[in-house]
Amino acid sequence: MHMVPVNTFPPSVILYGGTGQAKIARPIIEQYGARVVAVFDDTPGLPSPFPGTPIYPGAELPNWLAQQGGAEIGFSVTIGNPHGRARLAIHDRLKGLGLVPVSFAHPTAFIDESAVIGEGAQISAGAIVLAEARLGRCCIINTKASVDHEDVLEDGAEVAPGATLCGLVRLGQAAWVCAGATVLPRLTIGADAIVGAGAVVTRDIPDGATAVGVPARPITKSERNPK
Decide if 194 contacts 210 (C-beta within 8 A).
yes
The size of the interface with ligand COA (CB under 6 A), counted in residues, is 17
**Candidate list 10, 58, 161, 167; residue touching ligand COA; CB under 6 A:** 161
b/e code 22-46 from CB counts within 10 Å (16+ = b) = bebbbebbeeeebebbbbbbeeeee
Closer of 34 and 201 to ligand COA (Cβ): 201
- Catalytic residue list contains 106: no
In angstroms, rounded to a whole number, what is the distance separating the alpha carbons of residues 30 and 27? 5
The interface with ligand COA within residues 10-39 (CB under 6 A) comprises none
- The stretch near ligand COA (CB under 6 A) out of 23-31, 54-62, 112-120, 209-217 is 209-217
CA 159 to chain centre: 8
Closer of 85 and 95 to ligand COA (Cβ): 85
**Candidate list 125, 168, 184, 219; residue touching ligand COA; CB under 6 A:** 219
Q: Which of 142, 179, 136 is nearest to 156 (CA)?
A: 136
**Candidate list 126, 198, 206, 218; residue touching ligand COA; CB under 6 A:** 198
Active-site amino acid positions: 149
Give the footprint of ligand COA on this chain (CB under 6 A): 80, 142, 160-161, 178-179, 194, 196-198, 210, 212-213, 219, 223-225
